Amino acid sequence: MEFKHFLHPHNLNFTEVGKENDCMRCFGCLDVIYGPAYICNTFDDGDFVMHKSCAELPPQIQTNTFHPHPLRFTVGEVIVCDGCAKLLASFINYRCIDCTFNLDFRCALAISNDYELADHVSLQEGRRSKTTIHHFSHYHQLTRSKFSLMKTEKVMEIFNYLWGSDEFKCMACKQELHGTLTYTCLPCRFVLHESCVNDMPRQVLHSPFHPQHILLPRPIRKDSSHGCSACKYDVEGISFYCNQCDVSLHVSCAKYKTRAIKHNCHPDHHLLHLGKSIISELCCSACDKDCGDSFFSCIKCEFCLHVECIPLPPSAQQKRHLHPLMLVNPCAEDDSGVYYCEACETERNPEHHVYYCE
């Protein structure tokens, strides 16, 4: 039995796919194919295969209970789905011909096959969670969504191609986005964790990398970047900026928690106690080995020392404590994510060595 799909130039042949073919993925929903399917047997197009139910979804659908206008297929786009509120990419999506409403292929298939799904609680929640805001970190409005990709080779290949990059990190904290709530500007490929949007300050005072002036947020346009004065990597999307000194910093660099010390091994400038999350791939100026997880650095001079290479005393006495304190490796007492020095009661960085009573 042959079938003609509106997106493919050749006739497709009906087949039953067994469980042993776990490498075949549907061109529509991107799931592994098992059961009835249509496949192109043309020599050059052996990769085109679809579930029977996916292949039979028409090029235009209309479900008045879910959306009043007709939805027509589009090919190869990154969207925030109005059904599930996920940010995703696929070969086939459905877009309203009259407005900006979008459905990813899975939601379009579910709604088209079962009209009762239009009132399903999960889809209603998805539509409610897709909200838009204006935020000082970006020129355009941001759309709330869940960044959730199936981490398969095919899906990642599609997303990398359509997104234009193989890095999916928050523009503020530079951490992974997978499985998190985000705010996104799709045309600019600008993405922030929801938590980073909520916690981003309007200004940064006394940044360790530029303590002399206030740093203010500055949006950076797509395809532009500035060098970060702290970690030396490019800053894209949003920076904290000193107009007086023309200094740009990543959001995470500007907010970095650390202290400066004065030491006779580098008398001209203060040394900052840093961890690998701020700067990586640096060599110790004393032993010429990789700096690793915790080190002291003078950014201006590109001078770095392991904690072990700087003569910190192995123990210290604190007047408010009876016992000697020993210098130990970086530690976190719990999983709260916020840690404090018990002497000065200010926040400390868990990547840094500490003096600890054993």
What is the reported pLDDT for 277? 67
- Size of the chain in residues: 358
225: left (phi over 0), alpha (psi -120 to 50) or beta: beta
3-state secondary structure of 196: helix
Whole-angstrom distance, CA of residue 246 vs CA of residue 291: 29
What is the reported pLDDT for 246? 92
Taking alpha carbons only, the member of 170, 244, 180, 235 closest to residue 210 is 244
Q: 184 and 191 in contact (C-beta within 8 Å)?
A: yes
Whole-angstrom distance, CA of residue 329 vs CA of residue 15: 60
3-state secondary structure of 354: strand
Question: What is the dihedral angle through the alpha carbons of 10, 14, 16, 17, rounded to the nearest 10 degrees?
Answer: 10
Taking alpha carbons only, the member of 308, 301, 229, 231 closest to residue 266 is 301
- The angle subtended at Cα 258 by Cα 252 and Cα 263, nearest 5°, is 135
- The number of CA neighbours under 13 Å toward the Cβ of 307 is 19
pLDDT under 50: residue ranges of the chain: 118-119
Quickly count: other Cβ atoms within 10 Å of residue 229's Cβ: 23
Residue 291: C-alpha distances to residues 258, 275, 279, 317 (Å):
17, 9, 10, 28
Q: 274 and 257 in contact (C-beta within 8 Å)?
A: no
Whole-angstrom distance, CA of residue 138 vs CA of residue 236: 11
pLDDT digits (tens, 9 = 90+) for 291-309: 777 788 887 888 888 877 8
